[in-house]
């Protein structure tokens, strides 16, 4: 069996690659023109009957656009629709019922819903799609991180039970609870309060939907919420906090490492994967710091092993990669392989995931020529 994947990011093209586990080979099949800084890719939530090829969604962070793409059999990519997001788009979420997509604007601090055609995935060209703005909790005061939290910065949208949308806001230290209003509107209904200065970036839901886990980009901590608790605002579960920085980096050198992606293993509901960034460039970003005594090959992935209750941590392991600034990690739906990319160097690496807990990774393929990646999709 061979796998195909789509790579995008701060690069001039979309790249379709083929991974063959039997030969441990990863090769580029086709490259097609891409808009500036296409930093997120997403599958439709429902299967679409499109004979032209496979439908996916992509953004342009720089141009403030969201696109419907069709990936053809030969790997060529065709744009079939686009809409403005009216901000710097960082993430796309496809609604579970297939009726639309919600985009999160990092620049602008808003979210927006665009309805889609349920058969083709094409974005509606007539919907009103008003922007949803959020209150800024640090108005008139100095935020915990004055360099990064000067305004709302929406980073991601995920969907829970009953159509609830959870929107991570790095600038506000909140994960907003949002629900649909009419054909193309959204409304605010509450929030999850994150630790001050944590900068929530990405979140995931437990398999049973009862808990939400979030990674603070600036605090490097994973914290959790009990969604069965109706408190408003909802506070993190006490005493649950996991630092994902590898032990080779002292606290004095962690300030600008910017934690990134967060995923559950698709078949093991107690294993979380979280990516680190910028370890190789700590001294470049903060020249006043002494160089670390141990030079690493690349950034590390933290593996958090949870007990069945979801709130007891049984262990944290680190997998060392050869990638410079991990930006983009996706796991195959069967849970057998993980792909990661180096935004600043190292290309693309694929790891086989082994062990009962999915905590043993072995690199099986790489493609060093692909640069600037920020996200992937297994096709």
Q: Tens digit of pLDDT for each residue in 284-323? A: 999 999 999 889 999 999 999 999 999 999 999 999 999 9
Residue 250 to residues 33, 196, 247, 282, 300: CA-CA distances in angstroms?
Answer: 42, 21, 7, 11, 15
Residue ranges of the alpha helices (H) in the chain?
A: 282-285
Predicted local distance difference test score (pLDDT) of residue 63: 97
> Which two tokens mark 94?
């496809």
CATH number, residue 234: 2.130.10.10
Q: Are 110 and 86 in contact (CB under 8 A)?
A: yes
In a domain, 192, yes or no: yes
207 within some domain: yes
Does 247 have pLDDT greater than 80? yes
Looking at residue 293, what is its pLDDT? 87
C-alpha triplet 11, 322, 204: angle, nearest 5°: 70
What is the pLDDT at residue 371? 93
- CA–CA dist 375, 173 (Å, integer): 24
Question: Given a cut of 80, is residue 50 above it in pLDDT?
Answer: no
Position 140 scores a pLDDT of: 96
Contacts of 251 (CB under 8 A, 6+ apart): none
Q: Looking at residue 246, what is its pLDDT?
A: 97
Q: Is residue 24 part of a domain?
A: no
Q: In what order do the strands lie in the sheet with 65-71?
A: 41-42, 54-60, 65-71, 77-84
d(CA 6, CA 9): 10
HSE at residue 27, side-chain half, CA atoms within 13 A, is 6
- Residue 253 has φ and ψ, to the nearest 5°, of -110, 10
Q: What is the mean pLDDT of the chain?
A: 96
| Percentage of residues of the chain with pLDDT beyond 70 | 99
In a domain, 66, yes or no: yes
pLDDT over 80 (residue 49): no
Burial per residue of 293-313, b for 16 or more beta-carbon CB atoms within 10 angstroms, e otherwise: eeeeebbbbbbbbbeeebeee
Q: Which among 3, 123, 134, 120 is positioned nearest to 59, based on CA atoms?
A: 123
Torsions phi, psi for 255 (to 5 deg): -55, -40
Range 193-207 average pLDDT = 98
Instruction: Please report whether residue 344 resides in a domain.
Output: no
Give the DSSP H or E segment for 319.
strand 313-320
In a domain, 81, yes or no: yes
CA 36/CA 290 separation, integer angstroms: 36
- Please list, in sequence order, all residues whose beta carbon lies within 8 angstroms of the beta carbon of residue 217, skipping any fewer than 6 positions away: 155, 170, 198, 199, 200, 201, 258, 259, 260
- Look at residue 111 in the predicted model and tell me its pLDDT: 98
pLDDT computed for residue 88 by the predictor: 98
Tokens standing for residue 336 = 């057998």
Phi and psi (nearest 5°) for 251? -55, -35
Model confidence band, residue 244 (pLDDT cutoffs 50, 70, 90)? very high
Residue 222's pLDDT is 98
For residue 248, the tally of other CB atoms under 10 A from its CB is 15
- pLDDT at position 52 is 82
The four Cα atoms 323, 327, 333, 337 give a dihedral, to 10 degrees, of 0
Residue 139 pLDDT > 80: yes
CB 103 within 8 A of CB 91: yes
Is pLDDT at 375 greater than 90 in this prediction? yes
What residue has token string 């296409």? 38
339 lies in some domain: no
- Round to whole Å and give the CA distance between 225 and 205: 10
pLDDT digits (tens, 9 = 90+) for 169-185: 999 999 999 999 999 99
Let me know: does 335 contact 247? Beta carbons within 8 Å.
Answer: no
* 220: in domain: yes
Q: What's the burial of 219, exposed, middle or buried (CB within 10 Å: 0-12/13-18/19+)?
A: buried
Residue 102 in this model has a pLDDT that exceeds 80: yes
φ/ψ of 94, rounded to 5, equals -95, 125
Q: Evaluate if residue 370 carries a pLDDT over 90.
A: yes
Query: What is the chain's length?
Result: 379
Strand partners, 13: 33
Mean pLDDT confidence for 201-207: 98
Query: Is residue 163 scored above 80 in pLDDT?
Result: yes
Beta bridge partners of 372: none
- Give the domain range for residue 111: 35-136+147-243
Full-model pTM? 0.97
* Number of domains forming the structure of the chain: 1
């Amino acid at each position: 069996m061979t796998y195909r994947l789509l790579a995008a990011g701060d690069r001039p093209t979309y790249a379709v690659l083929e991974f063959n586990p039997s030969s441990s080979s990863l090769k580029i099949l086709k490259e097609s023109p891409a808009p500036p800084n296409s930093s997120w890719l997403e599958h439709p939530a429902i299967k679409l009957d499109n004979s032209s090829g496979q439908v996916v969604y992509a953004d342009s962070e720089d141009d403030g656009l969201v696109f419907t793409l069709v990936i053809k059999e030969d790997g060529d990519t065709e744009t079939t629709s686009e809409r403005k997001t009216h901000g710097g788009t960082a993430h796309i979420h496809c609604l579970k019922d297939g009726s639309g997509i919600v985009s999160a604007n990092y620049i602008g601090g808003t979210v927006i819903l665009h309805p889609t055609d349920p058969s083709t995935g094409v974005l509606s060209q007539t919907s009103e799609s008003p922007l949803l703005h959020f209150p800024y909790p640090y108005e008139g005061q100095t935020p915990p991180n004055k360099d990064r939290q000067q305004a709302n910065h929406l980073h991601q949208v995920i969907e829970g039970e009953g159509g609830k949308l959870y929107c991570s806001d790095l600038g506000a230290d909140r994960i907003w609870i949002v629900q649909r209003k009419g054909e193309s509107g959204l409304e605010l209904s509450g929030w999850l309060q994150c630790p001050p200065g944590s900068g929530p970036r990405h979140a995931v839901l437990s398999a049973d939907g009862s808990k939400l886990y979030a990674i603070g980009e600036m605090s490097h901590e994973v914290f959790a919420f009990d969604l069965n608790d109706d408190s408003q605002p909802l506070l993190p579960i006490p005493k649950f906090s996991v630092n994902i920085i590898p032990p080779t980096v002292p606290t004095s050198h962690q300030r600008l490492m910017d934690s990134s992606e967060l995923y559950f293993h698709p078949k093991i509901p107690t294993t979380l994967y979280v990516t680190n960034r910028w370890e190789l460039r700590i001294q470049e970003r903060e020249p006043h710091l002494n160089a670390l005594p141990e030079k690493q090959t690349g950034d590390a992935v933290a593996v958090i092993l949870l007990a069945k209750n979801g709130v007891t941590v049984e262990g944290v392991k680190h997998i060392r990669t050869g990638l410079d600034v991990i930006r983009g990690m996706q796991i195959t739906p069967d849970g057998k392989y993980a792909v990661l990319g180096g935004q600043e160097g190292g290309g693309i690496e694929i790891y086989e995931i082994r062990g009962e807990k999915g905590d043993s990774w072995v690199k099986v393929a790489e493609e060093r020529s692909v640069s600037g990646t920020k996200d992937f999709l297994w096709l």
